Every structure is written in structure tokens, then in C-alpha cells.
């Protein structure tokens, strides 16, 4: 723990799951006062992620920033003790809820009370540097407009640390109007035609139903159908699908139950003749919708687009409920359909920061390996 006398700033590092478990109320209370408030920074999302995804080489490293006894900031981190080419060990600091080569959480950030971003971010970075918390920092899926990014870069540059920002990725969203007809007017003519045509076609089928999961009893079966439809959608593309990962499957099953009990889950299904043909897994939080996952029965009539159609009803319902935004979230390689809904988008980015000595060591290791490989090839 370090203390700054002039402002009585204290930083406490949380390294045990027991201490993390006790933070729920204070964590969510601070988040509710923060400009970065979003569902993926809530305690329950990150706690459940940690409990399910933690590995032997992961170490909890949450940084709590206090002004005297008042919590004003949280650095939601963990350490990944990783081996570089199985030669050199590196302690990499990452956001809870993120993992290399995997997209699970978005809009990650340092949590701070309104107008405290400079103080909190600077103190967190200074603590990391002075207490030798890590060797490098890899912060994934931050909003590119985040207030903390320029501060992180500034402190890193001042300490002559290496800084690298990765390519920004589109995250489309819809600013919802007050009326469904207003939304339709903003759509392209081809999109309007397709929505109206498919809605008319839908009415020609028997026993059509659009419904939302209401209770834990329904969730038990609905979760299985979401997984089935999601996996079917990806397997026809020769892709494994997110739910093929055991940890992802368990994490979503756990967190969706928590969401449902707290009013955050909006799991929608479109069924025809008692057969679910499309699913949309949305999260309702702070007057906006986060579209997280979907599923589709690819064996259904190909001239019909049940996934697009179900999204249209979800958007219409969101407008009816007076919500402000429908966020399609990160644009993947096969997510071009998201651009058809809106021209609005924000960007997510990754940030890499490393101590200069680590960059030198890694460079030496790389050069050594290249030399060894060159020698081997000559023999």
C-alpha cells in the first residue's frame, strides 16, 4: 500500500478471492457513479469470470484507490504469468474479463468516480511502476474514446515505457428514436423492404411466437436452445462456435441466471410451429441494450431471414420501452450484417505498455532464438 500525504490517497491491492468476493456492494456503487459504467464492468460479471476462467498462472491484482476512507477508483486487473518462447517469464497485467486470443468482455476500463479520471489513472500507473506489479500491460477492448487512454499513455511516456496501440475495431450501435416508424425511415430502402417483406411472410406460418425468457424454469430449457442454435449457426461455417469452449458455456449459464434474477437478461426467441428458429441474447443495462450472442436454425427456409427479423422485433421493443441505444457491439470478421442496421459506430481498441528493460530482454531472447535456429538450419 502507498500513500500520498497531500491528498491522503491510498492504494490497496486485492490478491485473494475472499477479498474480491466482499467487494460487490462497494464495487457496483462506485461503478454507478462512473462515466465508464457498463454491464461488463459490474462486479458479478467479473467475479464469475474470475471464478470460472482463472488458471494456475493467473494472479488476482485488483487495485483499489481511496481518498482517506472513500473509494474513488478501481483497477480491475489480474496478472498472467506467461512464458515467452518458454525461455523468459513475463508478468502481464490484464483486465479481469479478458483473455488473450479470446473476446468475452467489451468496454473494459479503469473505474473512477466522475471527474477523478486523471488522479485515479495516474495513481494506478504510478503504483504499478513503483511497486513493480508487472513487466508489461495488455489492456483489451477499451472504448477508443476512453478518458483514461491518453492518461495511461502520458504516464507511460513520462517513464519512458514502450507504448503500442492496436488497430481500432468497429462497434456499431443505433441511437434509438422515439418511434418505430422514425427508425424505419432511417433504414436503407432495401432494409425496409426486407423487414416488411419478412414480417408479412412470417404471418403466413402457423403458430408463430416471439417471446422472452421470463423465469429460471424457462431459462433452463431456453439456454440449451440458445446453445443449439448458436452452435448450428457457426458449425455450418466450419467454425467451432463460442459455446464449444467449456469455460464460456459454464460462464454464460452462470451469469445469465444472475442477469435474469436482477432484470438484466433479455433472451428472445422466434418460433414457428413450436420450433425455435432464432435466438437473440441481449443484456439490458442503464437504459440501453447490449447485443451479446445469437443463434439461428440454418435448416429453415433460406429465402427467409429469421435472425434479422428477430432483431427487428427486439429493436422495436426497445423503442417501445423508451431505451436510448441498441448496441451491436464488436464487429467480427463475419458480422457484416451489423452495418446494414446502422451507420453509427464507436471503436474499441487494445493498448500495450511495457517497461523498457522488458522490451530489451524480449529483443535479446528473440535475437538469440533466431541465431539458434539459423545455426540449426546450417547443420
User: Tens digit of pLDDT for each residue in 97-144?
Assistant: 999 888 899 999 999 999 999 999 999 999 999 999 999 999 999 999
- Phi/psi for 77 (5° steps) reads -115, 165
Angle CA 18–22–25, to nearest 5: 160
Sheet containing 111-112, strands listed edge to edge, beginning at the edge strand earlier in sequence: 2-4, 9-14, 62-67, 70-75, 111-112
Contact 90, 358 (CB under 8 A): yes
* Domain spans in the chain, listed from the N-terminal domain onward: 2-170+347-378, 177-323
Over its C-alpha atoms, the chain yields an Rg (Å, rounded) of 23
CB atoms within 10 A of CB 317: 17
DSSP per residue, 66-87: EETTEEEEEE-EEEEEEEETTT
Q: 2-170+347-378 with 177-323: one CATH topology?
A: yes
pLDDT of 83 reads 80
pLDDT at 59: 98
Which residues of the chain fall short of a pLDDT of 70? 1-7, 84-87, 359-379
pLDDT tens track for 10-56: 999 999 999 999 999 999 999 999 999 999 999 999 999 999 999 99
pLDDT at residue 363, as a whole number: 56
Can you give the pLDDT at residue 366? 53
- Residue ranges of alpha helices (H) inside the chain are 17-21, 24-32, 43-53, 117-130, 148-158, 180-186, 189-202, 216-235, 246-261, 306-320, 356-378
What pLDDT, on the 0 to 100 scale, is given for residue 198?
A: 94
Classify 177-323 by CATH class: alpha beta
pLDDT confidence of residue 368: 43
Please give the mean pLDDT across all residues of the chain.
Answer: 91
pTM metric for this prediction: 0.92
What is the per-residue pLDDT for 107?
A: 98
As a residue count, the chain comes to 379
Task: Provide φ and ψ at 253, rounded to 5°.
Answer: -60, -40
Assign domain 2-170+347-378 to its CATH architecture: 3-Layer(aba) Sandwich (3.40)
pLDDT at 116: 97
Read off φ and ψ for residue 137, nearest 5 degrees.
Answer: -130, 130
Amino acid at each position: 500500500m502507498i500513500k500520498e500525504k497531500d491528498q491522503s490517497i491510498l492504494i490497496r491491492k486485492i490478491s485473494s478471492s475472499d477479498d474480491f468476493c466482499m467487494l460487490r456492494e462497494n464495487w457496483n456503487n462506485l461503478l454507478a457513479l462512473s462515466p465508464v459504467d457498463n454491464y461488463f464492468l459490474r462486479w458479478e460479471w467479473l467475479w464469475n469470470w474470475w471464478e470460472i476462467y482463472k488458471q494456475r498462472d493467473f494472479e488476482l491484482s485488483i487495485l483499489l484507490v481511496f481518498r482517506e476512507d472513500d473509494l474513488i477508483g478501481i483497477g480491475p486487473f489480474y496478472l498472467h504469468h506467461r512464458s515467452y518462447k518458454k525461455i523468459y517469464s513475463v508478468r502481464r497485467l490484464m483486465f479481469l474479463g479478458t483473455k488473450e486470443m479470446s473476446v468475452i468482455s467489451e468496454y473494459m476500463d479503469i473505474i473512477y468516480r466522475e471527474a477523478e479520471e486523471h488522479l485515479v489513472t495516474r495513481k494506478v500507473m504510478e503504483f504499478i511502476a513503483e511497486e513493480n506489479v508487472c513487466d508489461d500491460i495488455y489492456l483489451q477492448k477499451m472504448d477508443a474514446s476512453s478518458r483514461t487512454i491518453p492518461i495511461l499513455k502520458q504516464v507511460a511516456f513520462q517513464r519512458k515505457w514502450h507504448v503500442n496501440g492496436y488497430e481500432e475495431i468497429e462497434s456499431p450501435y443505433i441511437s434509438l428514436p422515439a418511434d418505430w416508424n422514425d427508425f424505419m425511415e432511417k433504414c436503407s430502402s432495401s432494409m425496409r423492404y426486407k423487414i416488411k417483406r419478412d414480417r408479412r411472410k412470417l404471418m403466413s406460418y402457423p403458430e408463430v411466437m416471439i417471446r422472452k425468457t421470463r423465469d429460471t424454469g424457462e431459462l433452463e430449457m431456453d439456454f440449451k436452445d440458445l446453445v443449439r442454435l448458436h452452435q448450428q449457426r457457426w458449425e455450418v461455417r466450419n467454425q467451432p462456435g463460442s459455446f464449444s469452449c467449456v469455460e464460456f458455456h459454464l460462464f454464460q449459464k452462470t451469469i445469465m441466471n444472475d442477469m435474469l434474477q436482477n432484470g438484466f437478461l433479455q433472451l428472445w426467441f422466434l418460433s414457428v410451429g413450436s420450433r425455435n428458429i432464432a435466438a437473440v441474447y441481449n443484456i439490458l443495462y442503464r437504459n440501453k441494450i447490449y447485443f451479446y450472442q445469437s443463434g439461428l436454425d440454418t435448416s429453415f427456409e433460406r429465402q427467409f431471414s429469421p435472425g434479422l427479423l428477430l432483431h427487428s422485433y427486439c429493436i422495436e421493443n426497445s423503442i417501445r420501452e423508451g431505451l436510448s441505444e441498441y448496441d451491436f457491439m464488436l464487429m467480427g470478421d463475419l458480422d457484416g450484417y451489423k452495418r446494414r442496421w446502422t451507420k453509427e459506430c464507436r471503436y474499441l481498441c487494445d493498448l500495450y505498455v511495457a517497461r523498457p528493460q522488458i522490451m530489451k530482454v524480449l529483443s535479446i531472447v528473440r535475437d538469440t532464438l533466431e541465431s539458434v535456429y539459423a545455426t540449426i538450419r546450417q547443420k
